[in-house]
Amino acid sequence: MKIAVLGGDGYCGWATALYLSQKGHSVAIVDNFLRRQWDFELGAQTLTPIRPLPDRLRAWHEHTGKTIDHFIGDITDYDFLSSYFQAFEPEAVIHYAEQRAAPYSMIDRKHAVFTQVNNIVGTLNLLFAIREYNPQCHLVKLGTMGEYGTPNIDIEEGYITVEHNGRKDTLPYPKQPGSFYHLSKVHDSHNIMFVCKIWGLRATDLNQGVVYGTMTEEVALDEALINRFDYDEVFGTVLNRFCVQAAIGRPLTVYGKGGQTRGFLDIRDTVRCIELACLNPGKEGEFRVFNQFTEQFSVLDLAHMVKTAGGQMGFNVEINHLPDPRVEAEAHYYNAKHSKLLELGLKPHLLSDSLLDSLMNIAVKYRDRIDAATMAPQVNWRSPRNLRTQATKPDEVLASH
Ligand code: NAD
Ligand code: USQ
């Protein structure tokens, strides 16, 4: 298939582009390097030394003989997106190209506005481009499990059947997102569902849990292909942060009681889920929703797993409970369904089998690059600030460096 990977220089996108290319698909990446600029803005960097995109693509070609095309531009620019669609004519579009950090969206007004404009306008442009250039094209959109929040009932896959005053209907599952970023995903989902209905487009919304791991078979081929591993307070996800903290002898930063439970999956399962969605598109006019995660853990469960794994490697790992900078339930019911991708053939990798290899070893290998100053939580949901006011377009950041 001809598959577009929007956001292909980012964490999930890079692993996906290589995996699909290795499987024989024709892949073209789109990215505007915003993610790399946000590192400049925040004074943070990935633990792993990622190379510039052209170097990465050259290394991929040298190792496999395969070529991945790349188009540099901003998907909120419709002229750019149109020219990309006309040049590449994708049969499926994987859409990762959004601002994805909840804390980034909660820094202040400017970052909240930037996140929602970047994400919602980018997705809207994409919907119009699909309609204009190839209405048969299958949109595979990355949503998030955080769209649902933490209701006190089971979470279904996208839809729930409700009986009310003697009548029955199947309706979109209620959304209770917990940040301006997570809200942007809900707004995207509504826009996508609407155009499936009015224009007959076909889309799969993958409500993904927190992704962990850096290594996939393809990335492991060469150091020049290495993927991101973020651990700073804004872009670092909880498990990455705990592994890095353990590797430098810092106490693990559990926010509040640590009962916050989320769905998680290995990056190797992310790329497989994407492939499964592409190979099994829905019908014209169908808006499918899959919950894309394999296991659920509380933050405190993860802290204990890292403590044990660290102990086996000779680290004395302490667990700290910090006041929660977010507004979220710290102890709650959580049971989210996730059977649709398993039915399509997903065989999950389990955290208990890969934690040491995928995460702790990477954290230890690149320990000298860890900057502990970027670790303490400073963004607070209750008190947005104006300390960091850049919320950025690339040209603005580049001008300041
Ligand atoms: P990432 O920040 O590493 O990658 C996103 C990429 O998109 C970056 O390379 C960035 O430069 C690019 N981008 C952003 N806005 C763009 C624009 N307007 N035009 C062109 N390119 C743009 O993020 P990720 O961790 O790979 O996440 C990818 C997607 O998956 C996001 O939509 C995120 O919400 C979703 N997701 C991620 C996780 C996770 O744990 N990482 C979990 C659930 C869902
Ligand atoms: N947490 C801690 N200590 C830390 C960091 C985080 O206790 O040092 C807690 C948070 O308070 C939260 C949980 O860990 O309760 C998860 O936080 P996270 O930063 O790992 O993940 P989150 O903000 O939910 O966002 C990440 C990705 C996002 C994706 C989402 C999937 O950045 O792109 O959408 O995971 S989900 O969580 O299912 O919404």
Residue range 55-108, pLDDT digits in tens: 999 999 999 999 999 999 999 999 999 999 999 999 999 999 999 999 999 999
The answer to whether residue 358 scores a pLDDT higher than 60 is yes
Which of the two residues, 105 and 388, has the higher pLDDT score? 105
Q: What whole-number percentage of the chain has pLDDT above 90?
A: 94
Considering only CA atoms, which residue is closest to atom 26 of ligand 2? 210
Q: Name the closest ligand to CA 236.
A: 2
Taking the C-alpha atoms of residue 86 and residue 126, their distance in angstroms, rounded to an integer, is: 13
- What is the pLDDT, as a whole number, of residue 193? 98
CB 152 within 8 A of CB 333: yes
Say if residues 253 and 377 touch (Cβ distance below 8 Å). Answer: yes
In 201-326, beta strands by DSSP E: 202-208, 210-212, 252-255, 261-266, 287-292, 295-298, 319-322
Q: What is the pLDDT of residues 233-274, one digit of tens each?
A: 999 999 999 999 999 999 999 999 999 999 999 999 999 999
Q: Is the pLDDT of residue 211 over 80?
A: yes
Confidence of residue 393 (pLDDT cuts 50, 70, 90): low
Checking if the pLDDT of 328 tops 50, the result is yes
State residue 399 phi and psi, 5-degree precision. -60, -30
C-alpha count within 13 angstroms, C-beta hemisphere, residue 140 = 28
Residue from 11, 299, 334 whose mutation best tests the ligand 2 pocket (most atoms within 8 A of CB) = 299
Domains of the chain and CATH, by start: 2-378 (3.40.50.720)
Please compute the mean of the pLDDT values over residues 167-172 and round it to a whole number: 98
Task: Looking at the CA of residue 293, tell me the nearest atom of ligand 2.
Answer: 38
Across the chain, what does the average pLDDT equal? 95
Closest to 149 in 3D by CA, of 189, 190, 101, 183: 183
At residue 318, the pLDDT reads 98
Asked if the model's pLDDT at residue 394 lies above 80, the reply is: no
Beta-bridge partners for 316: none
Residues making up the chain, counted from first to last: 401
pLDDT value of position 398: 42
Residues 155, 153: Cα–Cα separation, whole Å = 6
- Please check the confidence at residue 17 and state whether its pLDDT lies above 90: yes
Q: What pLDDT, in 10s, does the model give residues 378-387?
A: 999 999 875 5
Ramachandran category for residue 158: left, alpha or beta (phi over 0 → left; psi -120 to 50 → alpha): left
For residue 142, the ligand closest to its alpha carbon is 1
Q: Which residues contact 209 (CB under 8 A, 6 or more apart)?
A: 144, 145, 262, 263, 264, 265, 291, 292, 293, 294, 296
**8 A C-beta contact, residue 201 and residue 191:** no
Model pLDDT, residue 226: 98
Average of per-residue pLDDT across 265-284:
97
Average pLDDT of 190-211?
98
0.75 surpassed by pTM: yes
The pLDDT value given to residue 396: 54
**How many Cβ atoms are within 10 Å of 72's Cβ, its own excluded?**
14
Q: Decide if 293 contacts 263 (C-beta within 8 A).
A: yes
